[in-house]
A and B are shown apart, each in its own frame.
Chain A
Amino acid sequence: MATDIIIPADLWEGDEESVITAWLASDGAEVKEGALIAEIMTAKVQNEITAPASGKLSILKEQEAVVVKGDVIGRIE
């Protein structure tokens, strides 16, 4: 079963857009639940995105993509 990687709604206050500044695992890589896999930046605050499950990572939003809360940026199968 696939698990979406979603920008959490409580990651920052407000509804500002954010930018994916780095993917720390490659598309297709095996990742473990809880591992740091991406970083996103909102108004000079860097937030870390961890893997919500273990499995194979599919990147749906590339580095430097603009995202908002609730966006699905990747998937783990």
Chain B
Amino acid sequence: MIPVAFRTPADGIAREEALLAAGRPALLLWRAETAALVVPASWTRREGFPAARERCAQAGWPLIARSSGGGGVPQGPGTLNLALVVPVPRGFTIEAGFRLICGAVGEALTRFEVATGVGPVAGSFCDGAWNVTAHGRKLAGTAQRWRARGAGRVALVHAALVLDPLPASFWTALGHAHRAAGVAGPIRPEAHVALSDVLPGGMRTGSVFGALARAAEDRLATLPPVRRQAA
């Protein structure tokens, strides 16, 4: 399984959006060829943010604004994105969406003898209750976007998995962005762990991609079909 390679993170995010708009079940595994720091658009409206934007670009992490909230996250060759589009069946909740994607990541990694957990990690960027963790550190972050479609809903369920240790330049850029946005609390690089850090020795991160896609597909296949339910 080879992830789709987009030139920029913005291209990948746009593709996710197009899949959500189509509203059909879909799985997209992707990463971007160029790095960027993706931040909530609300940050970019803060006074002083233009200077931070310039500093981030100088550090090699140009900013891309996204419409959702949360925190700043890295995108680029070192981040793998798993995006699932799920026409929401009856009884499927937001929590079910998080369980689905965290379960898929966890199951895939179990095959490589990597034990994972789920939960918040103090000091991690874009922290939430549904991080996938390894050794108590954040390995992947998750988020969802729900859209009304006709009488039903469609969900985009997303995970971003850090493949390789983030360079010092990322933490520098994130610091610039956080200060300009007024984000309180320290972010600790040691709160994070990369896939390459937890895989058994010598194994390449690319080995996991196929298992990740299969685990996600298996979980999607267990969801009741929306049409049959409505009939």
Contacts and interface: CB of A to CB of B under 8 A. Distances in A.
Interface in B123-146: 126, 128-130, 142-146
B148 A46 contact: no
Contacts of A44: 69-70, 126, 128-130, 142-144
A38 B214 CA distance: 35
B67 interface: yes
Contact of B148 (A21, A48, A64): A48
A48 B95 CA distance: 18
- Sorting the interface of chain A by its residue count into under 10, 10 to 19, 20 to 34 or 35 or more gives 10 to 19
Contacts of A19: 69
Contacts of A12: 94
Nearest to A10: B153
A21 B41 contact: yes
A63 B42 contact: yes
26 contacts: A13-B93, A21-B40, A21-B41, A21-B67, A21-B68, A21-B69, A39-B68, A41-B68, A41-B69, A43-B128, A43-B129, A44-B70, A44-B129, A44-B142, A44-B143, A44-B144, A45-B143, A45-B146, A46-B68, A46-B69, A46-B145, A46-B146, A48-B145, A48-B147, A48-B148, A63-B42
B146 A13 contact: no
A12 B41 CA distance: 23
A47 interface: yes
Contacts of B142: 44
A3 interface: no
A11 B155 CA distance: 12
A45 B144 contact: yes
B60 to A, nearest CB: 27
A50 B150 CA distance: 12
Contacts of A45: 94, 97, 143-146
Nearest to B148: A50
A47 B146 contact: yes
Contacts of B144: 44-46
B14 to A, nearest CB: 15
Interface string B35-69: 00000111000000000000000000000000111
A36 to B, nearest CB: 8
A27 to B, nearest CB: 16
Contacts of A46: 67-69, 143-146
Contact of B70 (A41, A47, A48, A50): A41
